[in-house]
Amino acid sequence: MSESSALKLPPGEGIIIDYHQLESVLARLEGLIETNGNVFKAKFPDQDSWVYNICDPEMAKHILVSNYKNYKKGVGIKQINVLLGRGIIVSEGDLWKRQRKMMQPLFSNKLLSHQLPLMISCADKLLASWDDDIKAGKPINMTESMSQTALDFILHALFSEDLDRIIEETGENPFLMVTDDSARDLLFARRFRQLTHLVNDMMQRRRAENRQPYDLLTMVMNATEKRSGEAMPEKLQIDEILTLIIAGHETTASVLNWTWYLLAQHTDIQQQVWAESQQHVGAEGMPGMEEIAQLTLTRQVLDESMRLYPPVWVLTRQALADDHFNGIDIPAGTDILIPPYLMHRNPAYWPEPEKFDPQRFSPDNIKKQHVGAYLPFAIGPRRCIGDSMAIQEMAVHIGRIIQKVHFELLPDQTIELEPLVNLRPKKDIFLQAIYR
């Protein structure tokens, strides 16, 4: 890309952003927005082309929705590529379009309804696992627990009976390694890709035994392209399964972790969420989809939690061809960073942005929001395919657990952020759980 004087570029001459300085990157970007505005240009230390930082909702909408075809996934995608092969998070163009269509039926309302008992039992299992600690007054490691329960759900949603069989046969859960390491480096990728064999074995065994349990693996194995009637190639089936494991557990775990932390900080709201679940979700019986749909405050709390702590704290894209928006040129090859974390804290769109206020997401207030100013699941054709599943899973988890326990903060616990692939607390969050 050449830096022509005719181009109209946003401000930001001489700014270098080092994304390896993760410790300070959020504070630095926040400072740069204050001095340069919602759209500014910068460079990475090792690169000559521009990177645009965008906290303007209209421009985000242009890139993610109106002109999305001109943008491919950007910075960091190579790292995820090693992990997820050609799964739909990383694939582009026709391959992505074809795969996305084939994967869509996995996220239907019918499936959500089928998964409800599993969501409830995962929450109940977690609660039971805390029993000794709660009785002994020992704080609960929420970060670890949320990771375990989110993985428990997605693995059972994918593999149902086969997962239990593997655990029974081998005495361990081989997928647990995905919660081991948040660094997501090459070493992790290599270990993770070894799960390919395991998934492949499961698929072969199901075929040999002509077994088709009603779960996500069966749906991926049976996915066909509507027009041609062709099945999804086996290698892609495995990539999509691995994609669902990673995409489907880390993000949900992160939101739940932050949500419990926020509820422990705001005991009045925790009490209201408890009252709502008392009204609609039984502690022992099995609530149905209608009852879960009544958990409106719980959903507002989750929305507000994702505003303050969006797990995908930055969306990255790269311009394929020259583009232009609102007087700004975007030359081909420009890297784009759209950080939901900062967009969600922009006082122009979110008054008192640091305040935890679930009423921002009341049905009336939602109508007033700018569509590009709230991006926890991104927007446009590449928005999260699992958003409804995640929301339902998280609402069930909160609604079920809050029936039995309330949470309190531990004294002297300071929480610092660590923006890795997902936004995490630097140290695990511990909370005191007390039976009601």
- Residues lying near ligand HEM in the complex (CB under 6 A) are found at 73, 88-89, 100, 154, 243-244, 247-248, 251-252, 255, 311-312, 315, 376-378, 382, 384-386, 389-390
Closer residue to ligand HEM in complex, CB, 143/251: 251
| CA-wise closest residue to 357 among 297, 400, 409, 314 | 297
Q: In sequence order, what DSSP letters do the residues of 215-234 get, joined into one string?
A: SHHHHHHH-B-TTT-PBPPH
Nearer to ligand HEM, 311 or 419 (CB): 311
CB of 252 vs ligand HEM, minimal distance in Å: 5
Q: Residue 38 or residue 316: which is nearer to ligand HEM going by CB?
A: 316
Q: From the CB of 337, what's the least distance to ligand HEM, in Å?
A: 11
In the complex with ligand HEM, the residue whose CB is nearer, 57 or 386, is: 386
Of residues 119 and 297, the one with the C-beta less far from ligand HEM: 119
Strands 39-42 and 335-338: unpaired
Q: Which of 428, 64, 424, 74 is nearest to 251 (CA)?
A: 424
Backbone φ, ψ for residue 5 (5° rounding): -70, -20
Q: What number of other Cβ atoms are within 10 A of residue 135's Cβ?
A: 9
If you write DSSP's letter for every residue of 115-152 in order, what string do you get? Answer: HHHHHHHHHHHHHHHHHHHHHHTPPEEHHHHHHHHHHH
Which C-beta is closer to ligand HEM: that of 9 or that of 391?
Answer: 391
Q: Output the smallest distance, CB 397 to ligand HEM, in A.
A: 11
Q: Report the nearest approach of ligand HEM to the CB of residue 396 (Å).
A: 13
Question: Please, are residues 85 and 99 in contact by the beta-carbon 8 Å criterion?
Answer: no
Please compute, for residue 365, the number of CA atoms within 13 A of its CA located in the half-sphere on the CB side. Answer: 13
Report how far apart, in Å, the C-alpha atoms of 376 and of each of 180, 306, 315 are.
Answer: 24, 6, 10
- What is d(CA 309, CA 244) in angstroms, rounded to the nearest whole number? 21
Q: How far is the CB of 248 from ligand HEM (least distance, A)?
A: 3
Cβ proximity to ligand HEM, 140 vs 302, nearer residue: 302
Exposure of 101 in the CB half-sphere (CA atoms within 13 A): 14
Name the 3-class secondary structure at 425: strand
251 vs 432 by CB, closer to ligand HEM: 251
By beta carbon distance, the residue nearest ligand HEM is: 386
Q: Least separation, in Å, of the C-beta of 99 and ligand HEM?
A: 8
CB of 386 to ligand HEM, least distance (A): 2
Q: What is the spatial distance between Cα 311 and Cα 375, in angstroms, rounded to a whole number?
A: 10
Output the smallest distance, CB 70 to ligand HEM, in A.
Answer: 14
